[in-house]
């Protein structure tokens, strides 16, 4: 399969904007379906879309006729998902199911993005066949969405990620951009030492997603760097790369106790052995991941 028509649901955000830009460079014809338009999508098309509306989801599939679909659309704010459970379920589960059903009906390759939040973080490294046990409602919706997607579209691929590093080309929730803004403002940054993640730079992620969109792999797939790191150490490393004193980042050992903060899994450690065995795109060590994140 050669690059053809790519439809990105939720494509105006941080990962989606980078994915659209990467796909355009590879020769894809790209359409972004998102409720909000952000400048920076280049020659990609854009259509306003509510993924919880079955008619709209089907209409865009029929009119654009994509060869491949990447579904990034989600209510991904973990604390908001905890508070607004009905909305989170509607977007993260029902919306994902509608897109998967439409992809199956229209013979489109589907790549669905999930999260390490489906695990409780008490074990790890987590393999694709480990049983989900989410600690927060966002994780619940992602675990349920995985099941729904694979039930209605058995040829879909579900990609779990942990923490994505990079800079936005449009808008969205970028850890690097947010951290830089806080450091520029002179803030001292508190970070948990007990939350471990398997970070992945956005450029490697986009390359992997587009490779998966062209491939035939189905089922679950974990993506991440070859080494995990706690949020405190990671934030210090990033601050240093931004030429700020790492001492501006301080330990915050009781982050889970902060008011209004939903529980987080501690060990978001993904085993990426399967991805390394089936993808041509190389997964990187931590230092390379940080270097790539700033490109």
Residues 6+ positions from 191 with CB-CB distance below 8 Å: 231, 232, 234, 235, 236, 249, 250, 251, 252, 255
pLDDT confidence of residue 42: 82
Structure tokens at 84: 């607004």
Place 257 in a pLDDT band, splitting at 50, 70 and 90: low
Kindly report the CA angle at 59 between 55 and 61, in degrees rounded to 5? 125
CA distance 270 to 262: 21
- pLDDT tens sequence across 72-105: 999 999 999 999 999 999 999 999 999 999 999 9
CA distance 15 to 270: 19
Q: What is the mean pLDDT of the chain?
A: 93
- pLDDT tens sequence across 217-233: 999 999 999 999 999 99
Q: Please, what are the domains in the chain?
A: 5-167+199-225+270-285 (3.40.50.720)
- pLDDT tens sequence across 99-149: 999 999 999 999 999 999 999 999 989 999 999 999 999 999 999 999 999
Helix (H, G, I), strand (E, B) or coil at 33: strand
284 has a pLDDT exceeding 80: yes
pLDDT confidence of residue 172: 74
HSE value, Cβ hemisphere, 13 Å, CA-based, for 288: 10
71 contacts 212 by C-beta, under 8 angstroms = no
Distances (CA, A) of 20 to 23, 31, 38, 117: 5, 8, 12, 25
HSE value, Cβ hemisphere, 13 Å, CA-based, for 95: 25
Distances (CA, A) of 119 to 183, 216, 227: 31, 26, 18
Spatial CA neighbour of 172 closest among 22, 29, 39: 39
- pLDDT tens sequence across 159-215: 999 999 999 888 778 899 999 999 999 999 999 898 999 999 999 999 999 999 999
32 contacts 44 by C-beta, under 8 angstroms = yes
pLDDT confidence of residue 38: 77
Kindly report the CA angle at 292 between 288 and 293, in degrees rounded to 5? 115
pLDDT confidence of residue 2: 74
Residues 6+ positions from 139 with CB-CB distance below 8 Å: 115, 117, 118, 119, 132, 265
> What are the residues facing 115 on neighbouring strands?
161
Share of the chain above pLDDT 70, in %: 97
47 has a pLDDT exceeding 60: yes
pLDDT confidence of residue 261: 84
255 has a pLDDT exceeding 70: no
């Amino acid at each position: 399969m050669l690059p053809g028509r790519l439809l990105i649901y939720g494509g105006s955000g941080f990962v989606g904007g980078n994915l659209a830009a990467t796909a355009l460079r590879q020769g894809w014809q790209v359409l972004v379906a998102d409720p909000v338009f952000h400048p920076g999508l280049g020659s990609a098309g854009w259509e306003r879309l509510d993924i919880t509306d079955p008619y709209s989801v089907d209409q865009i599939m029929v009119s654009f006729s994509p060869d491949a679909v990447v579904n990034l659309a989600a209510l991904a704010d973990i604390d908001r998902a905890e508070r607004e459970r009905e909305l989170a379920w509607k977007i993260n589960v029902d919306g994902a199911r509608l897109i998967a059903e439409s992809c199956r009906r229209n013979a489109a390759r589907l790549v669905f993005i999930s999260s390490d939040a489906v695990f409780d973080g008490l074990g790890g490294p987590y393999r694709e066949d480990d049983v989900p046990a989410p600690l927060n409602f966002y994780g619940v919706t992602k675990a349920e969405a995985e099941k729904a997607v694979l039930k209605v579209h058995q040829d879909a691929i579900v990609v779990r990620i942990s923490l994505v590093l990079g800079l936005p080309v449009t808008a969205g929730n970028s850890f690097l951009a947010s951290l830089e803004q806080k450091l520029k403002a002179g803030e001292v940054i508190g970070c948990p030492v007990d939350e471990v993640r398997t970070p992945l730079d956005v450029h490697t992620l986009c390359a992997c997603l587009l490779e998966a969109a062209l491939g035939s792999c189905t089922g679950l797939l974990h993506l991440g760097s070859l080494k995990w790191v706690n949020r405190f150490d990671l934030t210090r490393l990033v601050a240093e790369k931004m030429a700020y004193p790492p001492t501006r980042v301080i330990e915050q050992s009781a982050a889970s106790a902060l008011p209004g903060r939903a529980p987080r899994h501690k060990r978001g450690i993904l085993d990426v052995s399967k991805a390394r065995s089936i993808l041509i795109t190389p997964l990187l060590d931590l230092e390379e991941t940080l270097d790539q994140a700033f490109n």
